[in-house]
Amino acid sequence: MLIFNYESKKDLKESIGKPLNYEETSVFGAEYDENGFLTGCNRPHITGYKKEFFANVIME
């Protein structure tokens, strides 16, 4: 699962059209796909943001 470096889902939605701010967490290889379906979350103990959320992102 990717970690999205956004404070909230609203901030993630507002960044449409901009490069995705994320961190890879998999030890088995890259999960990021330029044109695909990504699942990720915000983990407050890692990012420092208050809200935890999960989101699906479609990259086109």
Which pLDDT tens digit goes with each residue over 1-60? Answer: 899 999 999 999 999 999 999 999 888 888 888 888 999 999 887 888 888 999 999 988
Domain coverage including residue 41: 2-58
**What was the pLDDT predicted at 43?**
86
CA 28 to chain centre: 18
Q: Which residues contact 30 (CB under 8 A, 6 or more apart)?
A: 24
What's the pLDDT at 19?
92
Domain count, the chain: 1
What is the reported pLDDT for 55?
94
- Which amino acid is located at 16 in the chain? I
Q: What is residue 46's predicted lDDT score, i.e. its pLDDT?
A: 80
Q: In terms of Cα–Cα distance, which of 39, 37, 30 is closest to 4?
A: 39
Structure tokens at 2: 């990717």
